[in-house]
Structure 1
Amino acid sequence: MSFTLAICSEMVYTGLPHLERVERIHSAGFAVEIWDWTQKDAAALAATGAQFTSMTGYTTGDLITPDGADDLVRTMHQSIPFAQQIACPSLNLHGTGLGEGGIPLLPVEVVTGDMWLAAVRTLERVAELGERHGITCVLENLNTQVDHPGTPFGKAADTLALVAAVGSPHLKMNLDLYHAQIGEGNLVELIRRAVPHVGEVQVADVPGRCEPGTGEVRWTFVAQALAEAGYDGVVAMEAFAADPSSAGSDRALEAFRAAFTV
């Protein structure tokens, strides 16, 4: 069993221009993930020869309000040409748009039954969009205790329930194990339950959101659990390097590779 290992280019080699980060990651043998595409040059990214596995697939919107749902679908549609130009097969989304510092633009204290129904309807539209364009949309779980307070459907269990309810091959779960460890724990059981619905896995250690080996999670055990559950897709390090220097980023990439080479 082997995974496609990817690195989030927004969080490592932070002293370098973004394009140089992509080139460093690619030259080290990893695929690349990006966030906001609106400030990037698709042609320049494609020219690096890097494999792109995921990008943020919307710029505004949410799952639960009528106008927010329309904005989400509209801006996902706008994101598709960029994704196609860099041959990126996955568009990532959340329960609501995130602002400065990851704070949700539409914070929610209590998620109601009507919100659940609205989210399913919105995600059905998202899945239809993905089917029309041959892409996979992935819904990411986020923790609300540390990084993203007030995000609706933040728990992995909630994200999994929504994806399962839609039941489309063009809507999958982005299982972020950093967020899940903070929000729920019990990662191996979560993996076993979620894998049939997972389109991507993201990792960072806890606490600190840095590379494997800097926190409390035994990532080699988690990697083995993913493999035993039959997962063979993308595993991405969405983590800062504990040492922010370029040499520190080099070491972070190698620590990640060692943990997830199964």
Structure 2
Amino acid sequence: MAATGRIGGDGLGARMRAARIERDVGLRQLAQQIGMSPSSLSEFENGKSLPGAERLQALATVLGVQLDLRPPEPTGQRFEDWRDFERLDLTPVFRAALDVFVEVGFHGATVRMVADRCGLSMAGVYYHVESKDALLTALLQEAMAELISRCVSADAEADSPAQRVTNLVECVILFHTYRQASAVLASTELRSLDESGRLRHLQSRRKVREIIQSAVEACRDDGRVGTVPATSTATAIVTMCVAVADWYRPGTSPSPREIAKEYADLALAMVGA
């Protein structure tokens, strides 16, 4: 999630600066026109801050620049091996938001709590993100993007239907232990998303289940006979894996790899039961 919360993504500030210079508009002149301070506008042009949507639209209107305010599609954390989990690459604001949301719940959290946790003023937080809702949406979208990406990689690595199920269960277990905070947030705060964010989150969940369902169906085609439909079996497998995030305790619970092996055996038994 290195890009989450990155300011001036895709060089937006630099493009605005170029448009301003091309139109021979001074920094102070433009700042006065749109109701910003010259220092804030300079920070934006240099990629250090990001104004709210209304200010961005005002800038685009004054400079005659086309502006697409749709958020970029999340790409998830980058990884070389789906089994390896490095520390989440989060900006201080998003790291603080993740910790605070998990500790006190989204509705109990405030932007001031996030600001205090990461050592910024509230204005400093708003330089990086426009609202508390935007923080939650970005965190959940990036978490699901990473999980899906790892599942696709784990699935592609398998050389048999049974190995597909084994890899996928291991992948989901490892995610829900090594990314426990993100996993807990994704499980508990669906209700806090707006309608658009909730639909996207549900689509991501469905994608994970469909990947696992495909592996279950491949096992059935390969000779494993089960009386429970593949859809229900896949849903049950996902449900038991996701629940690990609720009880896993680093240092006291079995290791993530041990849990993954045990749950993979359970899943294969479910596929043929």
How does the TM-score come out when normalised to structure 2? 0.27
Give 1 or 2: higher strand fraction: 1
Q: Report which of the two has the higher share of helix.
A: 2
With the length of structure 1 as denominator, give the TM-score of the two structures: 0.28
